[in-house]
Amino acid sequence: MSAPETLPGITTGPDDHGLLRFLTCGSVDDGKSTLIGRLLFDTKTILADTLNAIERTSAKRGTSAVDLSLLTDGLQAEREQGITIDVAYRYFSTGTRKYIIADAPGHEQYTRNMVTAASTANLAIILVDSRKGMLTQTRRHSYLASLVGIPHLVVAVNKMDLVDYDQAVFERIRADYLAFADKLGIGDVRFIPLSALNGDMIVDRGDRLGWYEGPTLLQVLETVPAAHTEQAENFRFPVQFVCRPQDSANPELHDYRGFQGRVESGEIAVGDAVTVLPSGRTSTVKDVQLGGASIGRAIHEQSVTLLLADEIDISRGDMIVKSVEQPQQAKQIDATVCWLSETPLSPARTYLVRHTTREVKAKVAKIDYRLDVNTLEHEPATTLAMNDIAHVTLKLAQPVFADPYADNRATGAFIVIDESTNNTVGAGMIR
Amino acid sequence: MSTLTRQTLTHLDWLEAEAIHIMREVAGQCANPVLLFSGGKDSICMLRLAEKAFRPGRFPFPLMHIDTGHNYREVTDFRDKRAAELGERLIVRSVEDSMARGTVVLKTPDESRNKHQSVTLLEAIEEFGFDACIGGARRDEEKARAKERIMSFRDEFGQWDPKNQRPELWNLYNARAHKGENIRAFPISNWTELDVWQYIEREQLELPSIYFAHVRPVVRKNGLLQPVTDVTPAKPGDVVEDVQVRFRTVGDITCTAPVESAADTVAKILLETATTTITERGATRMDDQTSEASMEQRKKEGYF
Ligand SMILES: Nc1nc2c(ncn2[C@@H]2O[C@H](COP(=O)(O)OP(=O)(O)O)[C@@H](O)[C@H]2O)c(=O)[nH]1
């Protein structure tokens, strides 16, 4: 085996542009699976034995050409029914970036699956079939992407080969979409004409879309900022676990109290003044550690251990923030809730809300209205069924330390748990 | 760093931070978790992640290995050594004990014991009352894993029902379980084989020797190299060759095949991994070749 000039997928040091999570959405048969297969294939992520298995399956199902969409369907139950039922995660890597694709299927459970997939994504690819143009589904996907706060959208106008790679078709879809996106207030939207089947404008430009001068899909993925937001965010550190070694043989560790968690937003350094919630006690950061070693400071998304100058009683569910930038303490929250469970929401019941590392009992005070995700119209509602999205007011038994979801994805989000089954039944975003 | 773009973590740092966060969630939410440690490369990474998550404290969980009795000595010796170095408690439960109890019955004496680990694992979960098992499985390993949750719910019989899994949003994990039920937590779900090797290189993690190139007698069968050992002797008519090989994954001797390789350092293995043309399981697992759905089937029966 001879060494290639650049190593596919090996990223280290300053050339490492981090990790980008994105999701793909489209109606059935718009070419989502083919597009993902194409991305994996053209970035050489598909290995020979997988390809053999696909060839075998293609032959078994009577398709002659290798069907790249077979790469992306997983479970036996799904294969038997020929559909996908759940969010699947796939990985590929270029020389500079690692990617996690969340692939959400497009049938009736779609809202739930798409909200799930979108919750961790920073970019969404919305597929449009060039022959069909914008559909109700396109509007719904775009609305959900904006609801969950995905900062970057790519509208992929697929199957350009079936409209003779006609620029006018592409421009018409772009104009339609922009008229609609304006109303939604989506910030960064880009449009790319492509053929997933032929591989045009995905990784390679191909030679049939000469009139298009913008970047390929992969170029967009490679250059979009990996961080969820470019804005400076407030420091939020929900405490997950308290480390108290109490090692009597080692006097240094005897009084050690490390507060372990992940910097959900902002950054922190030794010497910063902090406040602990809910107690309101204040202190300064004595040390920032990883695995017991000092690292001095920590940024957004880093998992670390904080040591404080003063002895304060802190436990899981508390939050450490900078004293100058405190969140709201709320016992009543207004939120957009997506219902995820087959058992409908019951306003009479008490649920559990998990917000950061905090769990509190909660009751629905009011369902303000349900949203029709296709027309965005408000409708009155007394309960919520699976896939419903509604504006809801919740009463909490204890306060949570929250920011509006639009300002902070980590402290603005929560899940609803049904204590009788322990299932996750709802997802909420604080307004 | 330019002033326009916010500083972000490199992909390895991001994966590390995510895995630490998941381990701490298990420790914070579950009363009695355990970390599954086999001595293989993925679980060696898991131990380093646990150190980063919990040191200078001790791990808030013991380590456990389900031993088929058909593991390479190099690996089980390494397993014991590593646990001792870390000063953490290691529990070993053996499929052979389940066979002696009569809870594992082999169809034929030479049937692979690999899938029977599920029985021994469930017995150990019951014996110790574990409410969560932290494992090193990755979503890129196999199709049936691509939809696996990070916190995967198993019922009283240890069964995984792909249709009855909890939606996972943001990084809000729900590890709640009623008594007798069990959570399997997978902190390195989002890692690929290449990420694992990069992490091993960056953290300079020690590995069992059989991960590196060495000469070993093998028989070529179905495109795989079958090692010739006491457990898997050559059959009449087999052509035994001495080949320079390394293991990409180390598991039960009867179902793990090495690959031909001269890579004797982590750096050389990284190079091979980045340019390889065959997936880890495809090149090495004799049990997964039989059916596309075999992993899914094993998981439904309580496998890791
Ligand atoms: N002509 C043409 N066909 C395509 C293109 N992309 C996908 N298809 C075909 O459209 C059908 C549906 O594609 P698939 O990827 O399974 O769609 P999904 O349901 O969105 O995942 C398949 O027969 C594909 O081969 C394209 O760019 N051009």
Span A401-423, pLDDT tens digits: 999 999 999 999 999 999 999 99
Q: In this model, does residue A65 exceed pLDDT 60?
A: no
Q: In this model, does residue A273 exceed pLDDT 80?
A: yes
Q: Contact A76/B24, CB-based, under 8 Å?
A: no
What is the band of B51 on the pLDDT scale with cuts at 50, 70, 90? very high
Helix, strand, coil proportions of chain A in percent (round to 5)? 20, 35, 45
Nearest CA to ligand 1 atom 25: A197
What single-letter DSSP state applies at residue A154?
E
Q: Contact A48/B9, CB-based, under 8 Å?
A: no
- At A246 the pLDDT is 74
Q: Contact B24/A303, CB-based, under 8 Å?
A: yes
Contact status, residue A227 vs residue B6, Cβ threshold 8 Å: yes
State the average pLDDT over residues B149-171: 88
CA B224 to chain centre: 21
- At B141 the pLDDT is 82
Task: Enumerate the residues of chain A whose CB falls inside 8 A of the CB of residue B147.
Answer: 74-75, 86-89
Counting Cα atoms < 13 Å in the Cβ hemisphere of A258 gives 29
Q: In this model, does residue A337 exceed pLDDT 50?
A: yes
CA A386 to chain centre: 20
Single-letter code of the amino acid located at A383: T
Q: Using a pLDDT cut of 70, give the percent of chain A over it.
A: 86
What is the band of B61 on the pLDDT scale with cuts at 50, 70, 90? very high
What is the band of A183 on the pLDDT scale with cuts at 50, 70, 90? confident
Instruction: Decide: helix, strand or coil at residue B303.
Output: coil
Which helix or strand (DSSP H or E) is residue A48 part of? helix A48-60
Greater pLDDT, A85 or B185: B185
Q: Contact B143/A13, CB-based, under 8 Å?
A: no
Among A4, A240, A427, the residue with its CB nearest the CB of B169 is A427
Q: What are phi and psi of A244, to 5 degrees?
A: -130, 85
B81: closest CA of chain A, how far (Å): 21
Using CB distances shorter than 6 Å, the residues near ligand 1 are A 26, 28-34, 69, 158-159, 161-162, 195-197
Q: What is the pTM of this model?
A: 0.91
DSSP-H helix ranges across chain B: 11-29, 41-54, 73-86, 95-101, 117-128, 193-203, 266-275, 280-284, 294-300
Q: Which residue has the tokens 């034995």?
A: A49
State the average pLDDT over residues B224-252: 91
Handedness of CA B126, B127, B131, B137 (dihedral sign): negative
**Hey, what are A93's tokens?**
């890597």
Which helix or strand (DSSP H or E) is residue B220 part of? strand B214-221
- At A298 the pLDDT is 96
CA distances from A63 to A55, A66, B49 (A): 9, 7, 45
Q: Are strands A293-294 and A423-430 parallel, antiparallel or unpaired?
A: unpaired
B21 vs B23: CA distance, rounded Å: 6
What is the band of B291 on the pLDDT scale with cuts at 50, 70, 90? very low
Task: Using a CB–CB cutoff of 8 Å, tell me whether B270 touches chain A.
Answer: yes
Residue A49 has a CB neighbour count (10 Å cut-off) of: 17
Q: Contact B277/A47, CB-based, under 8 Å?
A: yes
Average pLDDT over chain A reads 88
What is the band of B290 on the pLDDT scale with cuts at 50, 70, 90? very low
Task: Using a CB–CB cutoff of 8 Å, tell me whether B180 touches chain A.
Answer: no
Burial classification of residue A236, based on how many CB atoms lie within 10 Å of its CB (0-12 exposed, 13-18 middle, 19 or more buried): buried
A302 vs A324: CA distance, rounded Å: 21
Which atom of ligand 1 approaches the CA of A30 most closely? 20
What is the band of B4 on the pLDDT scale with cuts at 50, 70, 90? very low
Q: What residues of chain B, 92 to 151, have a C-beta less than 8 Å from chain A? A: 139-140, 143-144, 146-147
State the average pLDDT over residues B140-153: 84
- At B292 the pLDDT is 42
DSSP-H helix ranges across A148-261: 167-184, 217-223, 251-254
Among B18, B274, B293, the residue with its CB nearest the CB of A9 is B274
Q: Using a pLDDT cut of 90, give the percent of chain A over it.
A: 68
